């Protein structure tokens, strides 16, 4: 029987407070170790806060965010995988990225494919898009990584990870702002995505206010039938899923 204990660390990050956000992430990693979680996930751009807007045009800001990720990697043992939203930089491009930290190192990096540019979002203003799915093989369990908007596309990287990468769990890290009725809509979408891909979905979302945006958390886990598993509400706390059977 494949099992995995997933911790969803729905933190309240503050834009620009790299040091404070890293402290909250470190605390989440500590708590994940205490409950012996196998995977702990933090929201999209948890290191910088979301949305960092034109801070992303400051190279020294990007550099500090990368340093923070390198330091956080040192906290992650062999018995834990931490997935953390940060800004990756490569050859003059920046990416909305997820760092996979394991055994003291950055073991993999995923780049977001779908960059929203509608409504309140401006991601094309800054980011280059990714074009490769990432699936982590943890012994007999496979975990596909995506970031926010990616999971809203039926044929996006989550599908590729489930079909070609054989992912049993699709882990999505998000910073998805609230509006009336969005929680129900989002939950239904994640259920459909799980069922279409025959994979469980774990979704961690940012919580807190940032200027005009309110992030509602409401992180959750659904099984491959799209049925809700024990989840968390919109308070800035860290909750833990029981061990998932995959």
Partner 1 sequence: MSITRTRLHDPRRRQDKQELDGANVKIVSLPFEPAEPKPAVEPRIETPLPKVAEVYWALVLGTRDYLHKNGMSDAVIGLSGGIDSSLTCCIAVDALGREHVTGVAMPGPYSSQHSLEDAETLARNLGIRFLVIPITGVFEAFLRALSEVFRGLPPDVTEENLQARIRGTILMALSNKFGWLVLTTGNKSEGSTGYCTLYGDTAGGFAVLKDVYKTLVYELAAYVNEKAGREIIPRRVFEKPPSAELRPGQVDQEKLPPYPLLDAILQAYVEEDRSVADIVAMGYDEATVRKVAWMVDSSEYKRRQFAPGPKITHRAFGKDRRLPITNRFREWEGK
Shortest distance in whole angstroms from residue 4 CB to partner 1: 9
The yes or no reply on residue 58 touching partner 1 (CB under 8 A) is no
- Burial 167-177, CB ≥16 within 10 A → b, else e: bbbbbbbbbbb
Q: Does 38 bind partner 1 (CB under 8 A)?
A: yes
CB crowding 118-139: b at 16 or more within 10 Å, else e: eeeebbeebbbebeebbbbeee
Among 183, 202, 206, 238, binds partner 1 (CB under 8 A): 183
Q: Is 67 among the residues known to form the active site?
A: no
Confirm or reject binding of residue 151 to partner 1 (CB under 8 A).
no
- Report the site for partner 1 in 77-116 (rule: CB under 8 A): 77-81, 100, 102-103, 107-108
CA atoms within 13 A on the CB side of 125: 13
For partner 1, the closer CB: 33 or 64 = 33
Say if CB 183 and CB 216 are below 8 A apart.
Answer: yes
Q: Which residues contact 214 (CB under 8 A, 6 or more apart)?
A: 177, 178, 208
If one counts every other C-beta atom within 10 angstroms of the C-beta of residue 225, the result is 10
Which tokens hold the place of 216? 């509602």
Q: Is 57 in the site for partner 1 (CB under 8 A)?
A: no
Determine, following the binding rule CB under 8 A, whether residue 134 of this chain makes contact with partner 1: yes
Size, binding site for partner 1 by CB under 8 A: 77
Minimum distance, C-beta of residue 60 to partner 1, in the bound complex (Å): 22
Q: Which of 24, 112, 149, 224 is catalytic?
A: 112
Residue 138 near partner 1 by CB under 8 A: yes
Does 120 bind partner 1 (CB under 8 A)? Our answer is: yes
Q: Which of 24, 44, 161, 224 is catalytic?
A: 44
| Residues 2/41, Cβ–Cβ less than 8 Å | no
Write down the least CB distance from residue 167 to partner 1, Å.
9
Residue 19 found at the interface with partner 1 (CB under 8 A): no
């Amino acid at each position: 029987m494949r099992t995995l204990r997933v911790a969803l660390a729905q933190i309240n990050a503050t834009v620009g407070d790299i040091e404070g956000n890293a402290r909250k992430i470190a605390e989440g990693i500590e708590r994940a170790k205490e409950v012996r979680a196998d995977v702990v996930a933090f929201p999209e751009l948890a290191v910088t806060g979301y949305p960092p807007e034109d801070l992303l045009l400051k190279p020294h800001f990007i550099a500090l965010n990368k340093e923070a990720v390198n330091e956080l990697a040192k906290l992650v043992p062999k018995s834990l995988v931490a997935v953390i939203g940060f800004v990756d930089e490569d050859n003059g491009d920046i990416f909305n990225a997820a760092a996979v930290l394991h055994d003291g190192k950055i073991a993999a990096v995923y780049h977001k494919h779908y960059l929203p540019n509608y409504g309140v979002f401006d991601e094309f203003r800054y980011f280059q898009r990714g074009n490769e799915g990432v699936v982590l093989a943890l012994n007999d369990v496979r975990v596909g990584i995506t970031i926010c908007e990616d999971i809203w596309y039926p044929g996006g990287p989550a599908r590729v990870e489930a079909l070609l990468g054989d992912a049993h769990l699709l882990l999505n890290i998000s910073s998805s702002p609230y509006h009336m009725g969005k929680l129900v809509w989002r939950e239904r979408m994640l259920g459909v995505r799980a069922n279409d891909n025959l994979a469980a979905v774990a979704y961690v979302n940012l919580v807190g206010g940032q200027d005009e945006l309110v992030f509602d958390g409401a992180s959750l886990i659904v099984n491959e039938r799209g049925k809700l598993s024990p989840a968390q509400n919109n308070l800035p706390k860290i909750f833990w899923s029981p061990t998932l059977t995959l």
